[in-house]
Structure 1
Amino acid sequence: MESVRVVVFLCVWLSVLTSLSQGQRSVDNQLPSILDEKLLGLTTRELAEALQGFLDQEDSRVGLSVEKKASVIPRCDVGERCAMKHGPRIGRLCDCLRGTACNTFFLRCY
C-alpha cells in the first residue's frame, strides 16, 4: 500500500514540475509564428492567389454544378407531389419540408 502512495506522489510531483517548466522556455527554443515565417518560400498572399487560380481553372474545366448533385434532393411544399409509383416501387421526386411527410397513398406532402 505504501508503494502505491509513493508512485502516485511521484507522478503528481513530476506532472506539476513539468507544467511549471513549460513556462520557463527561452525565446530561442520556441517555434516562430506562422505569420512571421514564410511557408515554402511563399507569403500567405501568394499562396492564396495560387489556390484561387487553381480553383478557377478546375471550375472552368470540369463545370461543376451544385444544383445537380446525386445526393441532393429538392424540397417540395405542402400539397405538392413528392413521389411517383413505379409498379410495386415508389420513387421519390422531392423531400417534404420539416414537419411534413410524404403520404404513401396520395403521394403528396402532408
Structure 2
Amino acid sequence: MESSGILIGLIIVGLFTVMCCGQVSQELSSDETQLSQQEAEKDLVEAMAVLLGRYQTHLPSTEKRGIAQCAMGSRCAVRLGPRIGKLCDCGRGSNCNSFLLKCI
C-alpha cells in the first residue's frame, strides 16, 4: 500500500515536471522563431535593396520623353481647330479632360 502511494506521488510529480518544462520550451521556441523570422526579413530586405541598386539603370523611366508634367488643375491641352494639341502630360492618378482641357 505504502509503496503504491509513493509510486503514484512520484508519477504525479514527474508529470508536473514534464508539463512545466514543456511550457517553458514552447515559450522559448516562439521567441526564437520570431527572432529568426525578423532576421530572415532583414536579410530579404537587404537582398532586395542590393538587386534594386544593380538593376536601377535597367528599369524604364516613368517620365515620357519630350512632354513635361502638368500639375493638378492646370491646362494640359489646346484646341487647334478640330484637333487637340498636348501642352503637357498629367501626373499619376489624373488625366486630361478633353472638354475642360485641364488635368482632373
TM-score w.r.t. length of structure 1:
0.35
Structure label with greater radius of gyration: 2
For normalisation by structure 2, the TM-score amounts to 0.36
